[in-house]
Amino acid sequence: MVEQKIIRLPEFRRGFHLITNVIESHLDLPDKGILNLFVQHTSAGLTINENADPSVRHDFETILNKIVPEGCEEYTHTLEGCDDMPAHVKSSLMSPSITIPITNGRLNMGTWQGIYFCEFRNFGGHRNIVATIYS
């Protein structure tokens, strides 16, 4: 069986935001299966990483800004602001989707793993995530 739901996230500031609880609160998980999450935007992403120490999320932001800086004169896609083209590149580097196993009605992640929503725009607005459950 396949179920699908769109989860509308609140507006987040630029950065990496732990959203595991937000996702879980919107879903009725089966005993076993697979959850795929897909963000419907080209300037945001999803990833799974450290859920305990917020400095990890800060460090992600810092290193990605060094890898893909704003203001490069080589960028040609610049009409939507200096954060736009770097946001597109960061989205592709991080990925718009993740897949997580479901076991015993829970997301089967490691003790220290959490779902990050990655907002790469300064003012990205509300974002949608498509949650697809395969059971």
Average pLDDT over residues 94-116: 97
Mean pLDDT across the chain: 96
CATH number at residue 125: 2.60.120.460
Share of the chain above pLDDT 70, in %: 100
> pLDDT tens for residues 3-22?
999 999 999 999 999 999 99
- Of 127, 121, 112, 134, give the one whose Cα is nearest residue 38: 127
> pLDDT tens for residues 37-59?
999 999 999 999 999 999 999 99
Is the pLDDT reported for residue 79 higher than 90?
A: no
Residue 129 lies in domain: 2-134
Tell me how far apart the alpha carbons of residues 47 and 97 are, in angstroms, rounded to a whole number: 8
pTM over 0.85: yes
Query: Reduced to 3 DSSP states, what percent helix, strand and coil does the chain have, rounded to the nearest 5?
Result: 25, 40, 40
> pLDDT tens for residues 21-39?
999 999 999 999 999 999 9
